[in-house]
Chains A and B, each alone.
Chain A
Amino acid sequence: MKKYLIETDNLTKKFDGFAAVNSINLKIPQGGIYGFLGPNGAGKSTTIRMLLGLISPTEGKAKLFDKSIDKDRLDILKKVGSMVENPSYYAHLTAYENLNIIREILNVEKSEIERVLNIVGLLEVKDKKVKKFSMGMKQRLGIAQALIGNPELLILDEPTNGLDPAGIREIRALIKGLPEKLGITVVVSSHILSEIELMATDVGIINKGNLIFQGSLEELQKRSLAQIKIGAEPKKEAIDHLLKRGYQVEERDKYIYIKEFSSPSILTKELVINNFEVYHISEDKSNLEDIFLDITRKENQDEITNIN
């Protein structure tokens, strides 16, 4: 059986009756990077807070390292580094002093401070007050705070928020190297699919509090293959023709979409030879929103079939 570092059982959080997180069953394997994907307000942060014991679930359980977070919180948190939403810091203290406070709580070597400052590239500004830091530097400090004490599990909530493109690339490279170099399992949340695609080995997608997809990145990519978008006249006949040819056709706002992989040139030829007027053809890589729509639509269809 596969070993899961984090497992939740119908984890639910309701705020005044509204389910911000609705009965989700996370299965996060050890030794990889788990991308936790969802639009803003989908319940990512609430879930992460429950995993860390910051908020208590209305229903369900969360287990980390095979221990329950509400019973063995301290034992679990000794092995977890985290950054939840915006980085937290004591602005009137220097970067070094901020890290020293965490080091003291974790009771680890003083050399840890320099080590993590070096990893995030803040060693040179360690004696600068954090209130004078730029947004990107604060973000790095947040990651350094999470890395101190060499945790077995790292939970980073939107770690590239507010960084410039170069910074994003750096942090991404840093995160990608962690499982191999240090054996750390990483959970990273984001609302940007491409971000997750570039880092994660496994993916969980949450929308409106529901976990609508969970699996490896390949499984997700299979569901989000590029599609061909065609504008052709007369449309109805064109669709009939393509269907006859065995294509999977979908019609959405004036355009025809071909789902499975096919070559745009072959499709154009197919239509033009048969006297259709092709005024648009493009390859559409689905973005996160499309995948959401796609997955939720399928879910809804499943529901309908089940009712029937």
Chain B
Amino acid sequence: MFNNLKIEFMKIKRSNIFLVATFFPILAVIQGFSFAKNIKGQEEIDLWGALFSGSTLMYGMLILPIFITIIFAIITRIEHSNNGWKQLLSLPIRREDVYISKLILGCIAVLYNLVVFLIGILISGIILGGKGSIPLDIIVLRPLLAFISSLPIIAIQFYISFKFKNVGVPLGVGAIFTLPTILIANSTKYWIFYPWTYPVLTMMPNFVTSAEQTLRYGIMYGVSILSFISIIGVGLYKFRSKDII
């Protein structure tokens, strides 16, 4: 498996995946940074909180889901274009290994993206001179939890990117489902039915206000993991017996 992952890394050389993964979260951090800087003069300000929520809104709602969309489209496009599948799969390599190693590569890129984001927040906070101890439980833990709540988006985009040869399909689906997030995330009732709201709501620290909402968060993580396993499972099952035309 390690060898297969290494092969996937060899393929993405010069594809700018990690450049994109670095650049995207920095955009969000810059926004949070300027937001926090503007209100810095006021007293009784929780600088870390302002910085984090200022960055998170755009990051969780837009940048992360779009990044996931792009990353899996690129990873599968490498094979879709120039007949890569038939070449790859007529070599002595298991189809499930190809599938899983591409998934792991994408997940590594998403995690890397989240880590760049949280490191960006930490550096910005230190530059702005945030007082008191750094709230690591929010700044470090929330983005990592957001990885779990991104799993449904990852699974859906991976599935679609694998299935459709035309890169426009996964990109279009990703964009169309990401855009209404801001509306649905505002609904305390319906967000749970819309996985695109999960990352931003995981990261917005003040959202959990009632016991009912706490329960919903529990359900969200459950839904995230279960839907990930089932979508990936179905995709793998289909890919194993797919005719490579």
A binds B: yes
CB of A240, distance to nearest CB on chain B (Å): 55
**Are A106 and B92 in contact, CB atoms less than 8 angstroms apart?**
yes
**Are A90 and B244 in contact, CB atoms less than 8 angstroms apart?**
no
**Chain A residues within an 8 Å CB radius of B6:** 104
**Chain B residues within an 8 Å CB radius of A55:** 243-245
Is A101 an interface residue when CB atoms closer than 8 A count as contact? Answer: yes
A191 to B145, CA, bound (A): 58
Number of residues in B with C-beta < 8 Å to the partner?
26
Bits for B80-113, please: 1 = Cβ < 8 Å to A, else 0. Answer: 0111101111111110000000000000000000
**Are B86 and A105 in contact, CB atoms less than 8 angstroms apart?**
no
Bits for A105-117, please: 1 = Cβ < 8 Å to B, else 0. Answer: 1110000000000
Is A86 an interface residue when CB atoms closer than 8 A count as contact? Answer: yes
- The listed residue with most B CB atoms (<10 A of its CB), out of A54, A55, A74, A77, is A54
**Chain B residues within an 8 Å CB radius of A90:** 11, 78, 82, 84
Bits for B1-27, please: 1 = Cβ < 8 Å to A, else 0. Answer: 001001100110111000000000000
Is A67 an interface residue when CB atoms closer than 8 A count as contact? Answer: no
A78 to B91, CA, bound (A): 7
**Are A93 and B14 in contact, CB atoms less than 8 angstroms apart?**
yes
Is B241 an interface residue when CB atoms closer than 8 A count as contact? Answer: yes
Task: Known contacts A54-B243, A54-B244, A104-B10; decide if A74 and B92 are in contact (CB<8 Å).
Answer: yes
A6 to B14, CA, bound (A): 40
Task: Known contacts A88-B82, A104-B6; decide if A54 and B89 are in contact (CB<8 Å).
Answer: yes
Q: List A residues 66-82 near B (Cβ within 8 Å).
A: 73-75, 77-78, 80, 82
Query: Which of A49, A56, A75, A87 makes the CB contact (< 8 A) with B241?
Result: A56
**Are B13 and A97 in contact, CB atoms less than 8 angstroms apart?**
yes
**Are A93 and B92 in contact, CB atoms less than 8 angstroms apart?**
no
A75 to B94, CA, bound (A): 11
**Are A88 and B7 in contact, CB atoms less than 8 angstroms apart?**
no
Is A92 an interface residue when CB atoms closer than 8 A count as contact? Answer: yes
Query: Which of A54, A91, A105, A106 makes the CB contact (< 8 A) with B81?
Result: A91
A107 to B3, CA, bound (A): 10
Is A32 an interface residue when CB atoms closer than 8 A count as contact? Answer: no
Is A185 an interface residue when CB atoms closer than 8 A count as contact? Answer: no
Bits for B205-245, please: 1 = Cβ < 8 Å to A, else 0. Answer: 00000000000000000000000000000000000010111
B89 (CB) vs chain A CBs: closest residue: A54
Is A102 an interface residue when CB atoms closer than 8 A count as contact? Answer: yes
Is A89 an interface residue when CB atoms closer than 8 A count as contact? Answer: yes
Task: Known contacts A49-B244, A55-B245; decide if A100 and B90 are in contact (CB<8 Å).
Answer: no
**Are A106 and B90 in contact, CB atoms less than 8 angstroms apart?**
no
CB of A48, distance to nearest CB on chain B (Å): 9
B93 (CB) vs chain A CBs: closest residue: A105
**Are A101 and B7 in contact, CB atoms less than 8 angstroms apart?**
yes
**Are B82 and A89 in contact, CB atoms less than 8 angstroms apart?**
yes
CB of A137, distance to nearest CB on chain B (Å): 14
**Are B90 and A53 in contact, CB atoms less than 8 angstroms apart?**
yes
**Are B90 and A84 in contact, CB atoms less than 8 angstroms apart?**
yes
Is A47 an interface residue when CB atoms closer than 8 A count as contact? Answer: no
CB of B102, distance to nearest CB on chain A (Å): 14
**Are B14 and A104 in contact, CB atoms less than 8 angstroms apart?**
no
**Chain B residues within an 8 Å CB radius of A53:** 89-90
Is A85 an interface residue when CB atoms closer than 8 A count as contact? Answer: yes
Is A30 an interface residue when CB atoms closer than 8 A count as contact? Answer: no
Interface residues, chain A, with chain B CB atoms under 8 Å away? 49, 52-56, 73-75, 77-78, 80, 82, 84-93, 97, 100-102, 104-107, 145
17 CB < 8 A contacts A-B: A53-B90, A54-B243, A55-B243, A55-B244, A55-B245, A80-B90, A84-B86, A85-B83, A85-B86, A89-B82, A89-B84, A90-B11, A92-B13, A92-B15, A101-B10, A105-B91, A107-B3
Interface pairs A-B: 6 shortest CB-CB = A88-B87, A55-B243, A88-B83, A54-B244, A77-B92, A52-B90
Interface residues, chain B, with chain A CB atoms under 8 Å away? 3, 6-7, 10-11, 13-15, 78, 81-84, 86-94, 241, 243-245
Besides A53-B89, A90-B11, A105-B93, 4 other A-B contacts (C-beta < 8 A): A54-B89, A56-B243, A89-B82, A102-B91
